[in-house]
C-alpha cells in the first residue's frame, strides 16, 4: 500500500487535541475497549474445528431415565438395534413397556419374560417383512442398571436369545482406553 500526501484538512476550527481528548477520555483511561479481530477469529475457528472433530453424526443413544450404566474400557461402538432397558422392576423395549421383573426377583429363579419375548418377536417379524431376502442380524442391546441382579440379567438375556436375538450386547459407559 502506497503512502500518499494527505489531502485538505476539513474543519480547521476544531483542534485535533480536542478530538483526541474526547476519544481518549480527557487524559484518563478510555471507557471504550478495542477487540482484536484476529484473536477472536482464531478462537472461533479453533472452537469450530474442535466441535467438528467431536461431532457424532449418529446422534445420541437415548438413555432410559433411572438407568445408571456400568463403566467399561474394552468396548465397541454402538449399533442401531432394538434397546431393551431394565430400570427398577420395569422392562422397556425402545421406550415401550414390555413387562416387569418382579416375578423373577421374588422367585430368584430364571424365567422367560413373556411380554418381552412377544414384543421382540414382533419386532423381528416386522424387520423381516420390511427387508425380504435379507439375513436378520439378531442384535439386541441391553441397557441395564448397574445394581440389577444377575438373575434378572440372565432372564432378559435368555428371553432375547429365544426371541431370535442371539447377538446380545450390554450397553456401557465408555471409559478412556489405557495402554496395557
Q: Which residues bind another protein (CB under 8 A)?
A: 1-2, 37, 40-41, 44-45, 47-48, 51-52, 54-56, 59-61, 63, 68-79, 108-110, 141, 144-151, 153-154, 157-158, 160-162, 165-175, 180
- Closest among 88, 85, 29 to 62, alpha carbons compared: 85
Shortest Å distance, C-beta 37 to another protein: 5
SS3 state of residue 82: coil
Q: Which C-beta is closer to another protein: that of 111 or that of 118?
A: 111
Residue 163 beta carbon to another protein: minimum distance, rounded to whole angstroms: 10
Residue 73 Cβ vs another protein, minimum distance, rounded to whole Å? 6
Nearest to another protein of 26, 108 (CB atom): 108
Nearest to 98 by CA among 169, 148, 163, 47: 163
With 0-12 CB in 10 A as exposed, 13-18 as middle and 19+ as buried, what is 53?
exposed
Amino acid at each position: 500500500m502506497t503512502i500518499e500526501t494527505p489531502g485538505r484538512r476539513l474543519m480547521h476550527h476544531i483542534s485535533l487535541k480536542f478530538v483526541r481528548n474526547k476519544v481518549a477520555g480527557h487524559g484518563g483511561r478510555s471507557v471504550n475497549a478495542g477487540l482484536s479481530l484476529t484473536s477472536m477469529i482464531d478462537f472461533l475457528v479453533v472452537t469450530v474445528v474442535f466441535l467438528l472433530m467431536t461431532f457424532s453424526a449418529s446422534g445420541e443413544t437415548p438413555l432410559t431415565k433411572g438407568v445408571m450404566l456400568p463403566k467399561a474400557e474394552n468396548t465397541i461402538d454402538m449399533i442401531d438395534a432394538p434397546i431393551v432397558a431394565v430400570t427398577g422392576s420395569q422392562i422397556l423395549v425402545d421406550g415401550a413397556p414390555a413387562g416387569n421383573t418382579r416375578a423373577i426377583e421374588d422367585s430368584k429363579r430364571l424365567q422367560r419374560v413373556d411380554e418381552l419375548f412377544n414384543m421382540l418377536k414382533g419386532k423381528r417379524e416386522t424387520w423381516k417383512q420390511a427387508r425380504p431376502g435379507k439375513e436378520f442380524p439378531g442384535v439386541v442391546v441391553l441397557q441395564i442398571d448397574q445394581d440389577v441382579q444377575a438373575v434378572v440379567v440372565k432372564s432378559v438375556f435368555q428371553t432375547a436369545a429365544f426371541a431370535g436375538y442371539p447377538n446380545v450386547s450390554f450397553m456401557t459407559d465408555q471409559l478412556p482406553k489405557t495402554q496395557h
